[in-house]
A and B are shown apart, each in its own frame.
Chain A
Amino acid sequence: MPQASSISVLVVDDQLTMRALIRNALQQIGFKDIREAPDGEEALKQLLAKPANLVISDFNMPKMDGLALLRAVRSHPPIRQTAFVMLTGRADRELVQRAVQFGVNNYCVKPFTVQGLRDKIEQVFGQLT
Chain B
Amino acid sequence: MDELEAIKVTFFQECEELLADLEGGLLAMQDGNDDGDTVNAVFRAVHSIKGGAGAFGLEPLVRFAHVFETLLDARRSNEIPGTPDLTALLLRASDVLADHVSAARGLGVVDMDASAAMAAELKAATDPNAAPVAAAAPAVVEAEPAFEPAPVVIGAANELLGDDALDDDDLGFDFQPMTITLDAQAADAAVIENVWTVSIRPKSDLYRKANETGLLLRELARLGPVQATLDDSALPALDLLDPEAAYVTWSVRVETDQGEDAIREVFEFVDGDCELEIVRGEAPVSDLLATLKDAAAPAPAPAPVFEAIVPSLEVAPEPAPAPAAVEASVIAAPAAAAPVVEATAAPAPAPVAAAPAPPPAAPSGAKPAQIDVPGPGQSVIRVDPERIDRLIDLVGELVINQAMLAQRVGEYGIAPSSNLAMGLDELEQLTREIQDSVMAIRAQPVKSVFQRMPRLVREVANMTGKQARLVMDGENTEVDKTVIERLSDPITHMLRNAIDHGLESPEERKAAGKNPEGVVRLAALHRSGRIVIEVSDDGKGINRERVHSIAVKKGLISPDLVLTDEEIDNLIFLPGFSTADKISDVSGRGVGMDVVKRSVQALGGRISIASRPGQGSTFTLSLPLTLAVLDGMVVDVAGETLVIPLACIVESLRPKSEEIRPLGPSGHVLAVRDSFVPLIDVGVTLNYRDRSPAATEGVVLLVEGEDGSRAALVADAIHGQRQVVIKSLEQNYQQVEGVAAATILGDGRVALILDVDAVINLRRREPPRPADPTLIAAE
| Residues of A participating in the B interface, judged by any CB pair closer than 8 Å | 2, 6-7, 14-18, 20-21, 24-25, 28, 36-42, 44-46, 48-51, 53, 60-65, 67-68, 71-72, 74-83, 89, 91, 93-94, 96-98, 100-107, 109-116, 120, 123-126
Contacts and interface: CB of A to CB of B under 8 A. Distances in A.
B347 A68 contact: no
Interface in B143-166: 150, 152-154, 157-158, 160-163, 166
B285 A74 contact: no
B334 A16 contact: no
B55 A62 contact: no
Contacts of A37: 374-375
Given A74-B309, A78-B192, A97 B318 contact: yes
Contacts of B52: 15, 17-18, 21
A111 B152 contact: yes
A57 B184 CA distance: 21
Contact of B334 (A6, A68, A105, A107): A68
A75 B292 contact: yes
A115 B160 contact: yes
Contacts of B281: 48, 76, 78-79
Interface residues of B, number: 92
B372 interface: yes
A124 to B, nearest CB: 6
Contact of B169 (A7, A14, A109, A124): A109
B268 interface: no
Interface in B310-346: 310, 313, 315-316, 318, 320-321, 326, 329-331, 333-334, 336-337, 341-342, 344-346
A36 B375 CA distance: 7
Contacts of B374: 16, 36-38
Contacts of B326: 98, 101
Given A15-B14, A71-B292, A74-B306, A24 B170 contact: no
A44 B320 CA distance: 26
Given A79-B189, A91-B168, A97-B318, A6 B182 contact: yes
A112 B306 contact: no
A103 B310 contact: yes
B180 A83 contact: yes
Interface stretch (B3-11, B459-467, B566-574): B3-11
Interface of B: 3-4, 6-7, 10-11, 14, 40-41, 43-44, 47-48, 50-52, 54-55, 150, 152-154, 157-158, 160-163, 166, 168-173, 175, 177-182, 184-185, 188-189, 191-192, 195, 279-285, 288-289, 291-292, 302-303, 305-306, 309-310, 313, 315-316, 318, 320-321, 326, 329-331, 333-334, 336-337, 341-342, 344-348, 372-376
Nearest to B278: A49
Contact of B333 (A45, A64, A89, A126): A64
A39 B3 contact: no
Given A78-B191, A80-B306, A94-B321, A114 B157 contact: yes
Contacts of B280: 48-50
Contacts of A115: 158, 160, 163
A81 B305 contact: no
Given A74-B303, A106-B177, A123-B177, A62 B336 contact: yes
Nearest to A107: B175
Given A91-B169, A115-B160, A124 B178 contact: yes
